C-alpha cells in the first residue's frame, strides 16, 4: 500500500495559541509548534462542515476515523524563509533540537543557516497578551478573571524585515478511491494547491485555542513531494512511503525526534532531552473535547535526541510508534 506526500505551508493570519495545560498562575503557555492532532482536528471540522447537510454529531466521529485511516501527519514547525520569483524558499525549520546539552531551534542541515538559542527563538516568535472579563452589573473588571495568554506571533521581525509567520509540515495520503461514503453521504477529496472537498477549496484552517479572541486563522498552500523517501524538513530523517504505514528509518545512531515518540514497545537505548505524558481531549456524548483521554501515553518530546533499534511508523495524530 503506497502513499502520496504533500508539503503544507500554513501562513498565520492571526496569533496561534496551542495550549497543553502548562499554566503558571494566571499565565497560559503555548507550545512552540503545532502537533499533528491539532491539524487532524481542524481538518475533521472543515471536511465535516462541507459534507454535512443537517447537523449530526456522529458524522464528526466518522470523518475523524476516516482521516486517521487514510491520512498521516507530521508535526508543523515555524520557519525562516525568503521569497524569490513568487516562490517560498525555506532556509531553516525551527524544530526544537537538543544540541551540546542545550535546547536550540533549527534542524535543516544547511551551510547557510545554523540553529538558534531558545532565547532567540522566543524573541522572534513568542509574545503574550493580558485580558480580563467584564462584570456586566458593575461594568468593571470581573473578579478573578485576569489572565495572560502566550502565543506564537502572526508577524515576525527577522533580519530587519517584517513578514508573516509560516509553518511547514507534511500530509501523507493513502492511495484511496477519490469518492468515499461517509454515513449517508459521499466525500470526494482531491489535492491541487489546496485540499478540495466535494469541489470546495479549503483555503483556510483554524488551529489551536482562544478562537473567541480571534486566534488560530491560517492560510493553506500545498505542493506534492516526489520520491518514495521523504527527507523530513531536510533534517536527514527519512520517511519510507512505500510501506503499509509511512515508516521512519532509524540507523541505530543519534536521531532527532520530530514528533512525540511513544515508549510502548520501543527498544530505546538513549534519550537526550525531555519525556512527557501525552494526554488529550476526546469526543464524548456531550460533544467534542469534553472528555479527557483515558490512556496516558509516555512519550519522548519533540527535539529530543534518541538511539533505538526499532522500526518506527507514523501513527494516528502524528505520534511515532514502534512497529508492532
> Which DSSP state fits 142?
P
As a whole number of angstroms, the distance between CA 195 and CA 94 comes to: 25
132 domain-assigned: yes
Q: What is the DSSP string of 222-272?
A: EEEEPSSEEEGGGSS-EEE-SSSS-EE---SS-EE-SS-EE-TT--EEEEE
Is the per-residue pLDDT at 205 higher than 90? yes
Residue 256: the pLDDT is: 92
71 domain-assigned: yes
Domain count, the chain: 1
| Count of helix runs (H) and strand runs (E) in the chain | 3, 35
* Cell reading at 118: 531558545
Map residue 170 onto helix, strand or coil.
strand
27-28 and 147-152 beta bridge pairing: parallel
Is the per-residue pLDDT at 221 higher than 90? yes
> What residue numbers bound the domain in which 8 lies?
3-227
10 domain-assigned: yes
Query: Exposed/middle/buried for 151, CB within 10 Å: 0-12, 13-18, 19+?
Result: buried
263 domain-assigned: no
As a whole number of angstroms, the distance between CA 306 and CA 257 comes to: 7
- Tell me how far the alpha carbon of residue 42 is from its chain's centroid: 10
121 domain-assigned: yes
pLDDT (tens digit per residue) in 25-34: 677 889 999 9
Q: CA dihedral defined by 49, 155, 28, 97, rounded to 10 degrees?
A: 100
pLDDT (tens digit per residue) in 42-84: 999 888 887 777 777 788 888 888 899 899 999 999 999 988 7
* Cell reading at 197: 472537498
**What is the mean predicted confidence (pLDDT) over 269-278?**
89
92 domain-assigned: yes
Four-residue CA torsion sign, 47, 51, 56, 62: negative
Is the per-residue pLDDT at 284 higher than 90? no
* Cell reading at 44: 475533521
23 domain-assigned: yes
**What is the mean predicted confidence (pLDDT) over 300-323?**
91
- Tell me how far the alpha carbon of residue 236 is from its chain's centroid: 20
As a whole number of angstroms, the distance between CA 64 and CA 58 comes to: 10
**Looking at the whole model, is its pTM more than 0.85?**
yes
256 domain-assigned: no
Is the per-residue pLDDT at 187 higher than 70? yes
Is the per-residue pLDDT at 249 higher than 90? no
Amino acid at each position: 500500500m503506497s502513499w502520496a506526500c504533500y508539503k503544507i505551508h500554513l501562513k498565520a493570519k492571526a496569533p496561534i495559541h496551542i495550549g497543553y495545560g502548562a499554566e503558571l498562575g494566571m499565565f497560559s503557555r503555548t507550545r512552540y509548534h503545532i502537533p499533528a492532532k491539532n491539524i487532524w482536528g481542524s481538518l475533521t471540522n472543515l471536511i465535516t462542515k462541507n459534507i454535512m447537510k443537517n447537523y449530526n454529531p456522529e458524522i464528526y466521529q466518522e470523518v475523524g476515523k476516516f482521516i486517521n485511516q487514510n491520512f498521516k501527519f507530521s508535526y508543523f514547525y515555524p520557519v525562516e524563509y525568503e521569497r524569490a520569483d513568487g516562490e517560498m524558499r525555506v532556509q531553516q525549520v525551527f524544530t526544537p533540537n537538543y544540541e551540546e546539552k542545550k535546547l536550540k531551534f533549527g534542524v535543516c542541515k544547511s551551510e547557510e543557516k545554523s540553529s538558534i538559542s531558545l532565547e532567540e527563538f522566543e524573541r522572534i516568535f513568542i509574545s503574550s497578551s493580558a485580558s480580563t472579563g467584564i462584570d456586566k452589573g458593575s461594568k468593571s473588571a470581573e473578579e478573578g478573571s485576569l489572565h495572560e495568554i502566550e502565543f506564537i506571533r502572526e508577524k515576525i521581525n527577522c533580519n530587519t524585515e517584517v513578514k508573516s509567520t509560516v509553518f511547514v509540515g507534511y500530509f501523507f495520503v493513502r492511495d484511496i478511491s477519490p469518492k468515499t461514503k461517509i454515513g449517508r453521504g459521499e466525500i470526494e477529496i482531491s489535492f491541487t494547491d489546496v485540499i478540495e472537498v466535494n469541489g470546495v477549496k479549503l483555503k483556510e484552517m483554524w488551529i489551536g485555542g482562544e478562537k473567541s479572541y480571534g486566534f488560530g486563522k491560517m492560510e493553506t498552500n500545498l505542493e506534492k513531494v516526489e520520491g518514495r523517501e521523504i527527507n523530513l524538513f531536510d533534517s536527514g530523517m527519512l520517511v519510507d512511503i512505500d510501506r503499509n504505514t509511512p515508516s521512519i528509518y532509524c540507523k541505530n545512531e543519534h536521531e532527532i525526534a520530530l514528533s512525540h515518540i511513544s515508549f510502548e514497545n520501543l527498544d530505546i537505548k538513549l534519550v537526550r532531552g525531555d519525556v512527557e505524558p501525552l494526554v488529550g481531549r476526546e469526543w464524548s456524548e456531550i460533544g467534542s473535547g469534553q472528555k479527557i483521554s483515558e490512556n496516558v501515553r509516555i512519550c519522548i518530546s519533540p527535539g529530543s535526541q534518541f538511539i533505538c533499534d526499532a522500526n518506527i511508523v507514523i501513527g494516528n495524530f502524528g505520534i511515532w510508534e514502534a512497529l508492532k
